[in-house]
Amino acid sequence: MSLEIPGTVRVPVGVVVERRPGATPWAEYAWQAREVIEDAPEAPPWTVLREESGRTLFLAGTAEVALHPTDTDNYIHNLQQDPPRAWVVLRPVAEAPGFALKTVTVDAGEAQLYAESGTDLLEALPMPPGLRLLLERFVAEHHREREFHKRKRDKADTEALGRRSRVDGP
């Protein structure tokens, strides 16, 4: 059974992550996502791209950015930023190198949910130009203005809330 929303588009992207020596005695390394790339090379996750001065750049892996037709309001808000963002989520794991690429999203609401977990490393990076163009086209095709409906409260039954007298039985 698939819960995929009809019209959903998935775009593969790669993520470049930097590991540098920690600045405090409590952390051996500091990690930071550096770039989202559109045409990621075929390579296993955590392939070393470059090492210099104690810093190492890794291709953390690839992820799919999911574009859902029901989330176009969030995409519009993102496209209005200067520059639009792609959020990368890295999750701590026991295996080396210590993080796993969890997801990449262009939905600020989804990114906020990952930020609230407190354990994930969340980085907001500039959106690649090709992904931005695809997102703009996706929004143009799928966005529908939805009228705001204010919810009305039900009328309370005041008699149901009142005190009842004891009824003497037979």
Domain ranges of the chain: 9-144
Burial class for 2, CB neighbours closer than 10 Å (0-12, 13-18, 19+): exposed
Distance of alpha carbon 58 from alpha carbon 34, whole angstroms: 10
Pairing of strands 99-105, 55-67: unpaired
In this prediction, residue 154 carries a pLDDT of 75
Average pLDDT per run of 10 along the chain, which is 170 residues long?
Answer: 79 96 89 95 93 94 95 94 96 91 95 89 96 96 81 74 64
What pTM was computed for the model?
A: 0.81
In this prediction, residue 69 carries a pLDDT of 94
